[in-house]
C-alpha cells in the first residue's frame, strides 16, 4: 500500500466516522438544550452554587453570568498555581511565577491553552486535574452555551430571552462533555496512553545514561483536551509525546475527538431553528474549507524540494515517524482550524507554505469547523455578513432564517469580525517595534516575523498552538498574549450575545419569492467566498511579509 493511498484512506475513514455520528450527536445536543427537565444531579449542582435553573435571561444578564463565571475561573486557577507548593500532589514543584500564572489562567479559562511552560516539570497532579482539566470542561461548555444562545436568537421571536446560562453550562458538562470524555479516556488508555498518579520514573538506557520519565493522569486530560478543543498538553511535547499519543490509531482518534462536537453542532443548529438544511449548508462550508486546508498542507509537505526531503519522502523535520506526513498534516490543519492548539508535530518545522496554511486557518477565525461552540457562532456571524452582501447585490433588505439583518445587526457582526485583526496585528506590531519582542526571536527575516505573527494569532483566536521558534516565557509575552487571549475570547461573546438578543426581539419575516435561499449550495459557495475575501483583505499584507515571502524566497 502506497503512503499516498494510506493518507487518503485515513481521511476517508475520519470523514466516514464523523458522518456516522453527525446526526445522532447533533440531535442529542438539540434535545439537551431544549429540554424542560433537569436531572437530579443538575438540580443538586444548582442548589450548591445557588443558581435558579429556570430563570430566563435577556442577553445582558446572560453576558454578565458568562463574564462573572469566567472571571472567577481566572482567579481560582491563578491562586492554585501561586499556591501550588502548599497543595497535595505538588510533586515538589515550586509556585508558578506571577506573569506566567496569569498567562496560564487566562489561557485555560479562555479555551486557548497556550503554554509557555513544560507541563511535566512545572505543574503538580492536583493543579493539572483540579485546575487545568476542570477548565478544559467548563471553558468548552461556556462556548457551547453562547452558541446555543445565538441559535435561540434565530429560533425565537418577540422576546429578548435567550435561556439560562447556568442551565446551559451545567447541561453541557454533565450531559455532553463528561460522558464523551469518559469513553474517549478509556479508548486512549486502551491505545497505550498513560493514566496513573505516579511521579518521576528513573530509567536506565542501553547507553548507560539515566532518564526521568514522568507519569500522571494523562489519558483523562487528553480526552477532554481534544473533545473540548482546548489543546493544552500534559507534556511539553503535547501530542507528539508517546505517552499522550502512542500510535496511529490514537492519532486518528484524537483528530476525530477534535472535530466531533464542532461538526455536529450545525445539526443541532438546524434542528433548533426547524430547518435541517440550514445546518447542512453551514457544515458544508466548514467541510470545504477544512478539506482545502488538508490538501494544501499535505501537498506542501510532500512536495518540499531538497535531496534530504525527497529521500525521506517529504519534509519530515519536526515530525514523528509513526504519524508520517499525512497524519502530521491532517492533525496540523485540524488543530489550527479549530481552537484546539494541540500539536503532534512542530509547526515551526513545516514548509513555509504549509506553515502559512496553518496560520491562515487560525486567522480565518477558526470557523472550519472552529472550536466547540465558538466555531458555530463564528460561522453564523459570517453567514449574517454573507446575507448582507447578497442583499446589497440585489438591492433588497437582507434576511436570514426569517430575521431582518438591519443596521444594528450588521454593526454587531462587523464589530465581531474586527476584534481579532485588531488584536493580532496590533500585538504583532507592538512586539516587532519593542526590544522585548525582537530579543525573543531566534530566527531573523520572514520566518522570525511569522513566529511572532503566529503567536498573537494563536492567542487572539484562542488556539494555543505555537511555532515554538522564539522565547515566549517572558513578562512581556506572558502579559500581552494573556490579554489577547482574554479579549479575543470574551469581546466577541459580547457582540454575539447582543446580536442574539436583537434577533430574538424581532417578529418573523414571511418567506417570499425574493427571499435568499440560504439552505442551497449556492449560498454555501457565497459563504465560503465571503470568508476568504474578508480574511484575505485583512491579513494578506501580514501573510505576504511572513510565510509567503519565505516560501517565494526558498
Nearest Cα to 174, choosing from 62, 69, 33?
Answer: 33
**How far apart (Å, rounded) are the C-alpha atoms in residues 234 and 238?**
7
Specify the residue for cell string 485515513. 10
For residue 118, the model assigns a pLDDT of 77
Q: Could you state, in order of their start, the residue ranges of all structural domains in the chain? A: 373-553
Dihedral pair phi/psi, residue 78, rounded to 5°: -60, -45
Integer-rounded Cα Rg, in Å, for the chain is 23
Check whether the bond before 332 is cis (ω within 30° of 0). no
Asked if 100 and 475 touch (Cβ cutoff 8 Å), the reply is no
Asked if 327 and 514 touch (Cβ cutoff 8 Å), the reply is no
Q: Which residues contact 64 (CB under 8 A, 6 or more apart)?
A: none
Q: Residue 435: left if φ>0, alpha if ψ -120 to 50, beta else—which one? A: alpha
What pTM, to 2 d.p., does this model score? 0.95
For residue 115, the model assigns a pLDDT of 86
**How far apart (Å, rounded) are the C-alpha atoms in residues 515 and 399?**
7
Dihedral pair phi/psi, residue 225, rounded to 5°: -60, -45
Q: Which helix (H) or strand (E) holds 322?
A: none
Ordered alpha helix ranges (H), 435-545: 435-440, 445-460, 475-505, 521-543
Helix (H/G/I), strand (E/B), else coil: 231: coil
Q: What is the pLDDT of residues 29-48, one digit of tens each?
A: 999 999 999 999 999 999 99
Helix (H/G/I), strand (E/B), else coil: 404: strand
27 CB neighbour count, 10 Å cutoff: 16
Degrees to nearest 5, angle at CA 26 with 22 and 30: 170
Q: What is the pLDDT of residues 403-462, one digit of tens each?
A: 999 999 999 999 999 999 999 999 999 998 888 777 777 777 888 889 899 999 999 999
Nearest Cα to 461, choosing from 192, 177, 107?
Answer: 107
For residue 289, the model assigns a pLDDT of 95
Specify the residue for cell string 501573510. 543
Low-confidence ranges of the chain (pLDDT < 70): 1-2, 304-315, 554
Amino acid at each position: 500500500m502506497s503512503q499516498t493511498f494510506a493518507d487518503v484512506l485515513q481521511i476517508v475513514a475520519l470523514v466516514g466516522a464523523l458522518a456516522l455520528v453527525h446526526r445522532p450527536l447533533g440531535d442529542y445536543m438539540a434535545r439537551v438544550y431544549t429540554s424542560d427537565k433537569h436531572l437530579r444531579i443538575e438540580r443538586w449542582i444548582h442548589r450548591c452554587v445557588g443558581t435558579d435553573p429556570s430563570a430566563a435571561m435577556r442577553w445582558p444578564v446572560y453576558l454578565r453570568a458568562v463574564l462573572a463565571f469566567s472571571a472567577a475561573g481566572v482567579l481560582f486557577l491563578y491562586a492554585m498555581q501561586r499556591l501550588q507548593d502548599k497543595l497535595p500532589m505538588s510533586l515538589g514543584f515550586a509556585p508558578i511565577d506571577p506573569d506566567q500564572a496569569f498567562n496560564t489562567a487566562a489561557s485555560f479559562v479562555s479555551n486557548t491553552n497556550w503554554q509557555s511552560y513544560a507541563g511535566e516539570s512545572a505543574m503538580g497532579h492536583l493543579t493539572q486535574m483540579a485546575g487545568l482539566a476542570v477548565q478544559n470542561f467548563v471553558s468548552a461548555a461556556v462556548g457551547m452555551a453562547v452558541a446555543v444562545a445565538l441559535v435561540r436568537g434565530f429560533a425565537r421571536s418577540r422576546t429578548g430571552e435567550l435561556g439560562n446560562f447556568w442551565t446551559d453550562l451545567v447541561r453541557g458538562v454533565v450531559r455532553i462533555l463528561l460522558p464523551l470524555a469518559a469513553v474517549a479516556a478509556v479508548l486512549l488508555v486502551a491505545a497505550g496512553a498513560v493514566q496513573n498518579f505516579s511521579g518521576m520514573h528513573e530509567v536506565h538506557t542501553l547507553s548507560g545514561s539515566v532518564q526521568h520519565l514522568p507519569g500522571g493522569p494523562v489519558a483523562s486530560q487528553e480526552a477532554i483536551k481534544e473533545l473540548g478543543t482546548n489543546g493544552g498538553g500534559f507534556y511539553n511535547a503535547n501530542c507528539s509525546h508517546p505517552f499522550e499519543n502512542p500510535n496511529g490509531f490514537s492519532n486518528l482518534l484524537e483528530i476525530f475527538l477534535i472535530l466531533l462536537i464542532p461538526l455536529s453542532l450545525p445539526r443541532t443548529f438546524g434542528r433548533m431553528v426547524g430547518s435541517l438544511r440550514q445546518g447542512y449548508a453551514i457544515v458544508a462550508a466548514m467541510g470545504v474549507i477544512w478539506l482545502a486546508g488538508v490538501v494544501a498542507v499535505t501537498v506542501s509537505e510532500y512536495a518540499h524540494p531538497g535531496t534530504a526531503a525527497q529521500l525521506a519522502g517529504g519534509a519530515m523535520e519536526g515530525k514523528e515517524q509513526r504519524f508520517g506526513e499525512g497524519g502530521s498534516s491532517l492533525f496540523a490543519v485540524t488543530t489550527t482550524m479549530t481552537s484546539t492548539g494541540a500539536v503532534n508535530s512542530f509547526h515551526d518545522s513545516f514548509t513555509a507554505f504549509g506553515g502559512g496554511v496553518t496560520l491562515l486557518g487560525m486567522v480565518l477565525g477558526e470557523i472550519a469547523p472552529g472550536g466547540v461552540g465558538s466555531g458555530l457562532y463564528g460561522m453564523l456571524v459570517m453567514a449574517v455578513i454573507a446575507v448582507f452582501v447578497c442583499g446589497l447585490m440585489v438591492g433588497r433588505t437582507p434576511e436570514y432564517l426569517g430575521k431582518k439583518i438591519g443596521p444594528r445587526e450588521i454593526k454587531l457582526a462587523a464589530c465581531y469580525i474586527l476584534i481579532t485583526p485588531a488584536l493580532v496585528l496590533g500585538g504583532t506590531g507592538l512586539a516587532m517595534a519593542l526590544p522585548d519582542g525582537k530579543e525573543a526571536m531566534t530566527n531573523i527575516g520572514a520566518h522570525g516575523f511569522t513566529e511572532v505573527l503566529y503567536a498573537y494569532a494563536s492567542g487572539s483566536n484562542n488556539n494555543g498552538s505555537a511555532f515554538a521558534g522564539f522565547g515566549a516565557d517572558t513578562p512581556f509575552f506572558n502579559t500581552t498574549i494573556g490579554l489577547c487571549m482574554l479579549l479575543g475570547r470574551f469581546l466577541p461573546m459580547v457582540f454575539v450575545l447582543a446580536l442574539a438578543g436583537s434577533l430574538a426581539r424581532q417578529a418573523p419575516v414571511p418567506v417570499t419569492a425574493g427571499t435568499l435561499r440560504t439552505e442551497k449550495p449556492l449560498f454555501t459557495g457565497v459563504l465560503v467566498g465571503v470568508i476568504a475575501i474578508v480574511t484575505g483583505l485583512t491579513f494578506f499584507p501580514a501573510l505576504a511579509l511572513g510565510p509567503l515571502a519565505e516560501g517565494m524566497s526558498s
